[in-house]
Amino acid sequence: MIDLHTHSLFSDGELIPSELVRRAVVKGYRAIAITDHADLSNIDMIVPRIAKVALELSISWGIDVLPGVELTHVPPASIAGLAKEARALGALIVLCHGETIVEPVPPGTNSAALNSDINILTHPGLITAEDAALAAKRGICLEITARKGHSLTNGHVARIASEAGAKLLINTDAHSPVDLITREEAESIVIGAGLTQADFQKIMRNAEELVNRLKQK
């Protein structure tokens, strides 16, 4: 399993990074990104601390650990600048909290994020065909999620992304130990979104390719 969207207690998760990664290893993960929620108020605290521990955990437990961030409920006009700052602070992977239908995310967030230096637009809700096409053009992945609530639009995201040729990933948005899933569970979620087993294999290749590309930076 490759999971590129998880949270530690540096935002609203329950575990310190070390325990989060250890539990992922036991669950059968081969790569994980720690991507705590951030805005201008805390990004300078979160990203360097995760970056500090990521390499040690990777070496100690034989798993790729990517330090990252999820820009969350950020004013759309501020997303591009904050993404740039995240990179400068050591984030290998940058996510932006998309326009999920279960939270009051500012309208225009999806479009602003897709015009910024991010890698994944998480749970993008009722994403438009135009934004999905922009994701495809810019090589930004769209997320199928295991997270309760956010997953309500998985079917829509899967269909719109497939029509636009945008790359998909399956992530957990884990906040607690019980949120981590096996590869088999991930496959079931993807198929439940209206995709096929072949689509799932492609999604896992997308994740593998992204991890390998980011590790080279």
Q: How far is CA 148 from CA 38, 100, 115, 205, in A?
A: 21, 11, 27, 24
* Cα gap 211→217, rounded to integer Å: 10
Model pLDDT for residues 64-117, shown as the tens digit of each residue: 999 999 999 999 999 999 999 999 999 999 999 999 999 999 999 999 999 999
Range of the domain at 122: 2-215
Q: What is the CATH number of the domain that holds 64?
A: 3.20.20.140
Q: Which residue has the tokens 């501020």?
A: 78
pTM: 0.98
How many domains, in total, are found in the chain?
Answer: 1
pLDDT higher than threshold 80 for residue 217: no
Model pLDDT for residues 10-29, shown as the tens digit of each residue: 999 999 999 999 999 999 99
Residue 170 is encoded by which pair of tokens?
């399956």
Model pLDDT for residues 152-182, shown as the tens digit of each residue: 999 999 999 999 999 999 999 999 999 999 9
* Cα gap 94→5, rounded to integer Å: 10
Q: How far is CA 87 from CA 16, 57, 93, 173, 206, in A?
A: 22, 20, 8, 21, 21
Q: Which residue has the tokens 């004013």?
A: 75
